[in-house]
Amino acid sequence: MKKSLLSISFAFIILLFASLPSHAAEIQIRIDDVPLPIDVMVETINNRTFVPLRVISEDLGARVDWSNSGVTVTKSGTQVVLKLFSDTAVKNGKEVSLDAKPYLKSNKIIVPLRFLSETFGCNVSYKNSIIIIATSPFIINGVKVKVLQYEYHMIMGGVISQIKGNVYNKNIYDTFIENMGNKVDAPASYSWVHDIDTIGHYYKLAQYDFMDQNDQIIQRFDTYSLVESFPEEVLSKYPKVLLYDDSAKQWHLFKETAFQSIGQIIDTAKKNGFLKVISNTVV
């Protein structure tokens, strides 16, 4: 009798612990060959992998909206509504079943990785304890983009970084294209140097090189900012920000807010491990 009770108790404990979340210390998640930062909470429940909604939505380029009815995740015409602790979701107005329920932990919404990844068009595979998520390739003029090389200068030295991740690079490229204004003539004075003595001088803020698999440049954009070292009335005829399309050898007006948006995308890519500094000569 005692043996039977012990066996039942032992079996109950095994089932209990099997259903509890566990940190997936041995599981690595790679999105477009970039591993998620080690401080990202990754858990497994019943052989299902869960990650914070914020991380996976940013890396897949999806927008997240919260309401009383649930969490809405949207990307490119696909909309999914998730409810905490519910095994159903609503995808484009139709109810679908989930094999793993979203939940809340440490004030973070934790969601099933495979469901969201595949919903938004990613391929998910598993090899040697690594979950591999491949987003749709980013292509410019029929050529697949490998990385975006991003360069900016300080007073003394400069920084060159490379950004991987199809979603981040496509979002940056689309921001350039969508906010490219009217064509303008080249400014009389422009360079990497912050020249405060020349009226209408433009300082080169950054250079963006979209590169192919052989590290050849497919497309380059340069952003320039007017050096405002003279009175406003003297500079009133000069646009504050210009964009140079190096591939087309053409200058354009460019929105200051668009430049700021690109900076925000780059900051998010850096925070999530998709930006790598390859050269830093700042002193």
pLDDT-based confidence at 26, cuts 50/70/90? low
CB 50 within 8 A of CB 110: yes
Fold of 19-134: Copper Amine Oxidase; Chain A, domain 1 (3.30.457)
Mean pLDDT confidence for 198-204: 97
pLDDT-based confidence at 92, cuts 50/70/90? very high
Tell me: the pLDDT tens digits for 35-49? 988 778 889 888 889
> Alpha-carbon distance 241 to 223, whole Å?
7
pLDDT for residue 86 is more than 90: yes
> Alpha-carbon distance 67 to 106, whole Å?
19
Amino acid identity, residue 230?
F
pLDDT for residue 114 is more than 60: yes
Mean pLDDT confidence for 6-20: 38
> Alpha-carbon distance 86 to 83, whole Å?
6
pLDDT for residue 88 is more than 90: yes
Give the per-residue pLDDT at 91.
95
Question: So where are the chain's domains?
Answer: 19-134, 140-280
